[in-house]
């Protein structure tokens, strides 16, 4: 429900024709095209008819359903009709504000009206009735959530690992992890192992880097989808990590089909199931106030700090590049810039610019770079730079320091006017003229003058000069001719890309049969998306099966082609999580080739 065609369908279903020009209506609507289950995010829309800008929405009546913004979209339309030579232009202003809601219990739910303020005027939406279903349970799915620590300090990073075990063929699935919606923790990405991963949108703005592997779980051959997040507690106290859950469409059988594009002669039957984890308890201890060092800003763990400088032999005022590295922890985001101005010995003897460069992450260290300048020639070293942190293992504060860096600072030479003019005013002996016919003699007569009068005519007729100016002119002329012949405008480039889209994808498809069977579904889906990306100026990597459906509908107005294209991509993507890989044979590839060529023929350039 994140695309223009579906939004337009919703508009047609709730906004009748003939609305008075200038009048504004605001209506609430929920996507009920598919079932809504407990603890699954679903789309809630506020449709503004009569204006094309967002309003200010009071979401407090929906607070218990955890509303999250899912983006806004201007869906205004302009149509032009020509009747008996008379042109009529009609403009319709419409705007859609999208939100994601979540209900934690089954039954008939009435979503209350909300207030929308637009141009200083308040509008009330309609209530919306929805039915929330309870998914089934199955021992073919399992979810485990673990914490690296059961006790920690405020600011101490801990690892939360989510393991989803699958021992059935599944289709679409959705995570619901309430802890990510709260404000009790800073949430960061954990380090990813060498195992390949894929990014997955958890539906609440959080992105998980999921690694997939095969394992045996509870005596069953299973697929394991695993990811980790770093939780950094903000406040002390006993916290309960609420249960997480995953709902998934599980294949429960097959139906015979008469679809001519289905080479397997059957369609999968899905049923929605849900699996949840156990709640977890976490004790968060406050940091002690006693012996807290100055400069401590909340680092908890174990850290190290080092520094280097280049060059170490300088004059007063010369730039010195000071590099500071802080490491020792896998989670470096909380580390702040060292406060160099607070180190009195450094501030008194060096000039420290107020501008600071953005730190970099290199080889497990956060690296800070600053340029400083010695203020006098009495400076012998760069003093130690401290780093205060709380050692959670020892339960005490620690101040780590860099080693002093020795410097050799020389005074800067002061230039006199004589230095600038160059040399002494003492009279030189003329014998300098005769010393090995030196670089230049001191002549006192007109013999030193040579006529260097410049003539353009000489440049034109002299062969040496002619070669100098003629060669570049010839090259310039050739380059202009080549440019005119091969000139490519953005429009021509785009048109050439569109015309070659089908051919390029067909060549990719014909190579699939030589790939390993477990890689074929993903390669097939990739080739199909690449075709749509090149043909219709879309980003292929971000296309979903529903996006593909709507692109083809818009281009060809042929629902059968769009449906078939979408089903094949969805089937390929679902194969990533199936226990048995769907073999992509030559018949399937030929079907897709024909499909692409049919779409290409029916689409306008």
Interval 466-475: pLDDT, tens = 667 677 777 8
- The helix/strand/coil state of 421 is helix
The closest of 252, 93, 302, 274 to 174, measured between CA atoms, is 274
Distances (CA, A) of 317 to 163, 347, 377, 384, 479: 58, 14, 9, 21, 50
Evaluated on CA atoms 33, 38, 41, 42, the torsion sign reads positive
The closest of 224, 178, 237, 218 to 197, measured between CA atoms, is 224
Burial 301-338 (b: 16+ CB within 10 A, else e): bbbebebebeeeebeeeeebebebbbbbbebbebbeeb
Distances (CA, A) of 172 to 35, 359, 418: 13, 40, 84
3-state secondary structure labels for all residues of 36-96? EECCCEEEEEEEEECCCCCCEEECHHHHHHCCEEEEEEECCEEEEEEECCEEEEEEECEEE
Distances (CA, A) of 506 to 86, 527, 601: 46, 8, 14
| E-assigned strand segments in 297-425 | 304-310, 313-315, 319-327, 350-351, 360-362, 365-374, 381-382, 386-391, 396-401, 405-406, 408-410
The label of the residue with tokens 């940091």 reads 287
Determine the Cα angle at 366 with ends 364 and 371, to 5°: 140
Other beta carbons within 10 Å of 139: 10
What gap in Å lies between CA 342 and CA 274, rounded to an integer?
Answer: 56
Under DSSP, the state recorded for 518 is: G
* Cβ(3)–Cβ(31) below 8 Å: no
Could you tell me the fold of the domain covering 4-133? Immunoglobulin-like (2.60.40)
* Cβ(200)–Cβ(177) below 8 Å: no
* Cβ(235)–Cβ(218) below 8 Å: no
What's residue 3's pLDDT? 46
What gap in Å lies between CA 597 and CA 595, rounded to an integer?
Answer: 5
Could you tell me the fold of the domain covering 304-410? Immunoglobulin-like (2.60.40)
What gap in Å lies between CA 603 and CA 501, rounded to an integer?
Answer: 12
Residues contacting residue 42 through CB under 8 Å, at least 6 positions apart: 30, 31, 36, 100, 101, 102, 130
Under DSSP, the state recorded for 300 is: B
What's residue 381's pLDDT? 94
The closest of 308, 303, 289, 372 to 335, measured between CA atoms, is 303
Residues contacting residue 225 through CB under 8 Å, at least 6 positions apart: 163, 164, 166, 210, 211, 212, 577
What gap in Å lies between CA 113 and CA 28, rounded to an integer?
Answer: 8
What gap in Å lies between CA 202 and CA 210, rounded to an integer?
Answer: 11
Under DSSP, the state recorded for 432 is: G
Q: Which residues of the chain have pLDDT under 70?
A: 1-22, 191-195, 203-205, 256-266, 413-467, 469, 484-493, 542, 574-583, 605
pLDDT digits (tens, 9 = 90+) for 287-317: 998 989 988 988 998 899 999 999 999 999 9
Q: Which CATH number fits domain 141-285: 3.60.21, 2.60.40, 1.10.260, 3.90.226?
A: 2.60.40
What's residue 81's pLDDT? 72
The label of the residue with tokens 């920690």 reads 152
3-state secondary structure labels for all residues of 169-220? CEEEEEEECHHHHCCCEEEEECCCCCCCEEEEECCCCCEEEEEEEEEEECCE
The label of the residue with tokens 């097939």 reads 524
What's residue 382's pLDDT? 95
Contacts 24+ apart (CB under 8 A), 14-19: 14/47, 15/47, 15/49, 15/94, 19/49, 19/50
- Tell me the angle at which helices 559-574 and 545-556 cross, rounded to the nearest 10 degrees: 160
pLDDT digits (tens, 9 = 90+) for 527-548: 888 888 888 888 777 677 778 8
* Cβ(126)–Cβ(46) below 8 Å: no
Other beta carbons within 10 Å of 405: 17
Entry field: residues in the chain: 605
* Cis amide leading into 258 (omega within 30): no
Percent of the chain with pLDDT over 70: 80
Q: Residue 155 region, left (φ>0) first, then alpha (ψ -120 to 50), else beta? A: left
The closest of 306, 296, 298 to 334, measured between CA atoms, is 298
Record the tokens describing residue 466, joined without a space: 């002619």
What gap in Å lies between CA 398 and CA 415, rounded to an integer?
Answer: 49
What gap in Å lies between CA 214 and CA 222, rounded to an integer?
Answer: 6
Phi and psi at residue 116, to the nearest 5° = -120, 125
What's residue 559's pLDDT? 83
Q: What is the CA radius of gyration of the chain?
A: 36
- The helix/strand/coil state of 339 is coil
């Amino acid at each position: 429900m994140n695309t223009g065609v579906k939004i337009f369908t919703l508009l047609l279903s709730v906004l009748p024709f003939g609305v008075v020009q200038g009048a504004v209506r605001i209506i609430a609507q929920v996507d009920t095209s598919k079932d809504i289950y407990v603890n699954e995010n679903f789309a809630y829309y506020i449709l503004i008819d009569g204006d094309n800008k967002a309003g200010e929405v009071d979401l407090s009546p929906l607070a218990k359903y955890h509303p999250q913004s899912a983006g806004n979209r201007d869906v205004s339309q302009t149509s032009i009709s020509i009747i008996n030579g008379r042109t009529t232009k009609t403009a319709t202003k419409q705007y859609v504000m999208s939100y994601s809601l979540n209900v934690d219990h089954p039954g008939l739910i009435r979503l209350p009206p909300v207030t929308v303020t637009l141009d200083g005027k308040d509008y009330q939406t309609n209530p919306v009735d929805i039915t929330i279903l309870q998914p089934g349970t199955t021992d073919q799915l399992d979810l485990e959530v673990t914490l690296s620590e059961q006790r920690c300090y405020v600011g101490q990073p801990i690892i939360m690992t989510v393991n989803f075990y699958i021992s059935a063929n599944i289709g679409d699935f959705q995570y619901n992890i309430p802890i990510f919606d709260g404000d009790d923790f800073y949430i960061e990405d954990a380090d990813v192992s060498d195992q390949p991963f894929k990014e997955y949108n958890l539906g609440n703005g959080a992105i998980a880097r999921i690694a997939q592997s095969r394992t045996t779980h509870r005596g069953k051959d299973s697929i394991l989808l695993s990811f980790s997040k770093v939780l950094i507690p903000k406040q002390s106290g006993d916290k309960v990590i609420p249960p997480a859950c995953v709902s998934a469409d599980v294949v429960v059988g097959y139906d015979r089909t008469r679809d001519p594009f289905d080479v397997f002669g059957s369609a999968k039957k899905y049923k929605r199931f849900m699996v949840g984890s156990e709640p977890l308890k976490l004790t968060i201890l406050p940091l002690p106030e006693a012996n807290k060092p100055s400069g401590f800003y909340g680092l908890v763990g174990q850290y190290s700090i080092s520094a280097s400088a280049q060059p170490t032999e300088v004059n007063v005022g010369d730039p010195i590049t000071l590099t500071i590295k802080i490491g020792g922890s896998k989670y470096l985001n909380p580390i702040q810039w060292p406060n160099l101005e607070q180190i009195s010995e450094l501030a008194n003897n060096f000039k420290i610019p107020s501008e600071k460069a953005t730190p970099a992450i290199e080889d497990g260290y956060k690296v800070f770079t600053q340029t400083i300048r010695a203020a006098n020639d009495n400076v012998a070293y760069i003093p130690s730079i401290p780093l205060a942190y709380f050692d959670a293992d020892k339960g005490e504060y620690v101040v780590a320091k860099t080693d002093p860096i020795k410097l050799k600072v020389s005074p800067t030479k002061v230039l006199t006017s004589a230095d600038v003019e160059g040399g002494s005013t003492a009279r030189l002996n003329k014998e300098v003229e005769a010393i090995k016919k030196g670089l230049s003699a001191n002549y006192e007569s007109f013999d030193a003058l040579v006529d260097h009068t410049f003539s353009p005519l000489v440049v034109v007729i002299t062969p040496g000069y002619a070669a100098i100016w003629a060669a570049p002119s010839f090259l310039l002329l050739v380059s202009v001719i080549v440019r005119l012949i091969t000139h490519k405008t953005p429009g021509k480039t785009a048109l050439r890309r569109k015309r070659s889209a089908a051919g390029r994808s067909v060549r990719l498809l014909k190579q699939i049969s030589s790939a390993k069977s477990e890689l074929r579904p993903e390669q097939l889906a990739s080739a199909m998306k690449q075709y749509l990306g090149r043909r219709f100026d879309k980003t292929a990597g971000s296309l979903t099966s529903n996006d593909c459906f709507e692109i083809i509908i818009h281009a060809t107005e042929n629902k059968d082609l769009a449906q078939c294209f979408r089903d094949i991509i969805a089937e390929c993507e679902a194969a990533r999580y199936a226990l048995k890989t769907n073999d992509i044979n030559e018949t399937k590839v030929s079907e897709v080739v024909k499909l692409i060529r049919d779409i290409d023929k029916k689409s306008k350039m």
